[in-house]
Amino acid sequence: MLNLTHLPPFQNEPFTDFNDPAERRAMQQALEKVKSQFGQHYPLIIGGQEIMLDDVVESINPSFPDQVVGRFSKATIEHAVQAVEAAAKAFETWQYISSAERARYLFDAAKLLRARKHEFSAWMVYEVGKSWAEADSDTAETLDFLEYYGRQMLRLAQPQDLVPYQDEETDLKYIPLGVGVIIPPWNFPGAIMAGLSSAAIVAGNSIVLKPASTSPAIAYQFYKIMEEVGLPAGVFNFIVGPGGKIGDALVDHPKTRFIGFTGSMEVGLRIHERAAKVHPGQLWIKRTILEMGGKDAVVVDETADLDAAARGIVVSAFGFQGQKCSAGSRAIIHEKVYDQLLPKMLAEVDKLKVGEPTQPDVYMGPVVDQNAYNKIREYIEIGKQEGKLVYGGESHGPGYFIEPTIFVDVAPDARIAQEEIFGPVLAVIKGRDWDDLMGIANGTLYGLTGAVYTRDETHIEDAQARYHVGNLYFNRKCTGAMVGVHPFGGFNMSGTDSKTGGPDYLLLFTQAKAIAHKPVHAPAPEQEAVGQGGR
C-alpha cells in the first residue's frame, strides 16, 4: 500500500534551462505541435460523457487575435445543473476510495505531465501570452501541486496525535466535503487550475471545473491527463461558459458543498454572498475558498541595496505583464534614496524585451484579451493625471501589447495606487520615514504580498509585525511563491488566506470526524455513570 515511507521527500520541480540547446529545441517542437492543433472543437465533459455543442466559446491567441486556439462547447444552465448532479453521483463512491489510491492518481498524473511539460507550457504561451520562462514555471508549479498534495493527503490519513483517555480508542479522520465547484483564473491557467482541482480530488471530493473563458484549452489538457490515469467518470467534470449565468448556477445548486475560486475581489465577494444563501434541499453551510486581488508593494528604505531593489521592483511589477495578484504594482521608496533609485529602475526596465512570446528571448508578451487591454489603457490615462509618466505607456499591435509603464510622484491615495490594474503599470510613491513607508504599504483594501528592501534589522523586525500581508519577503521580489516553501494567501480583501501550497491547505477541502470506541466489555467510568459534563 502506498504511504509516505515509499516516497522520496517532496522537492520543487526544477525550472528548465532554455540555454540548453536540447531544451530549446524541445520547446520549439512543442510550440509547433500545439499550433498544429489550433481551431479544434472541444466538448463539455459531464459524468464522463462528451457533449459537443454548436454554440461555442472561442479561445484566441492574444498575440494574434485573429488566431483561434480552440472552440469550446458553451454550457447552458441545464448543463451546469447536470454537472453538479453527475459529481454528486460520483461522490457516493469516490468518498470511500482510500487516501492512498486517490494520491496515486495525482502521482501518476505528475508522471504524464512531466513527460509532456513543454507541450503543456506551449499551450500557455499561445492561449494567455506567457513567455517561455513564465509558462515553464507555471507548469513546474502544476507538478509541485500534484506531488505535494498527494503527500499531504497521505500525511492527513495517518493516525492523529490525540490525548489518550481511559480505556477509549480514539481517532480523528479527515473526510471529504462533497461536490466542489472550481473556478480558477486565466493568469495561472495551469498551476492554480490544477492546484484547486487536485486538492479537492485527492481529499475525496468530486468537482465541476469551470475554467476562465480565456484559458479553457490548458484546463482541457489537464482534464485529459486525469482521464488518462483512470480517474473515475464523474469525479472530474469540465464545462465552459459565461461566468455570470453558469457560475451562479453552479454556486447556487443545493448539492454544491464548496466553491474554490481565484480571481477578482468583486467576483469573489459575489460568490461568497451567494454561497451564504441556503437553498431548498441544502443540508450544509457552503464553504468558500477564495483567493482574490492584491495591490502589492515593494518597500525600499534608506539602507537598502539599491541595485537589488531596482531589479526586484521591475521583476515584481512586470513579470507576466503585471498580470499576477502578487505583482508589485507599487514601489514605496524612502525620500533619501528616491532620486538615486529611479534611474536604476529605468535602466532595469530598459533591459526587458516586449514581443511575441513564442520567441525565447521575450520577457513580456501581450495582455490576455481586449477587455484587459482596454482596462489597462484606461488606467494609463488616469495615471497621466495622477503622476508623472517616465516610462512606456504606449501600445503596439496586432496583438494586445502594452509597454511596461512607470508613473512617479504618485500620491498614496491615487487610483493607480489603490485599485488593482492587473497589467504592466507601476506607481512609484515617496515616503518620508519608516513609519510613513509602513503606513502607505498597509493603506489599501488588500493584504496579499509585500517585499521590503533594507539592511536595518529593526525594520525587518518591525515589518514582520506590522506589514499586514499574507506573504512577506525581505530583500527579494514579492512574486514567485514556491509550493511547500511559501504557503500562499492573503489578508483583508485579498481573500480567505487559504495558504495554497501549505501544510494546512487540504483541511479546507475536508471535515474532521472525531471517533471514540469503548470496548463493550469495559466498565463505565464512575464520572460518566453519574453524568459527565462537556460538549
Q: Is 42 within 8 Å of 220 (Cβ atoms)?
A: yes
Q: Is 62 within 8 Å of 128 (Cβ atoms)?
A: yes
Interacting residues of 265 by C-beta distance below 8 A, sequence separation 6+: 292, 293, 420, 445, 446, 493, 494
Q: Could you say which of 141, 291, 302, 348 is catalytic? A: 291
**Distance, CA of 164 to CA of 321 (rounded, Å):** 55
**Is 325 one of the annotated active-site residues of the chain?**
yes
Based on its alpha-carbon atoms, the radius of gyration of the chain, rounded to whole angstroms, reads 24
**Is 478 one of the annotated active-site residues of the chain?**
no
Looking up cell 453558469 gives 246
Question: Using alpha carbons only, what angle is made at residue 181 by residues 180 and 184, rounded to the nearest 5 degrees?
Answer: 125
Q: Could you say which of 325, 348, 403, 420 is catalytic? A: 325
Please provide the size of the chain in residues: 535
Q: Write the DSSP string, 323-370.
A: -STT---EEEEETTTHHHHHHHHHHHHHTPPBS-TTSTT-SB---SSH
Q: 518-523, long-range: CB within 8 Å, 24+ apart, which pairs?
A: 518/167, 518/168, 518/169, 519/167, 519/169, 522/167
Interacting residues of 496 by C-beta distance below 8 A, sequence separation 6+: 288, 289, 290, 291, 489
Q: At what angle do helices 117-128 and 216-228 cross, to 10 degrees?
A: 160
Catalytic residues: 291, 325
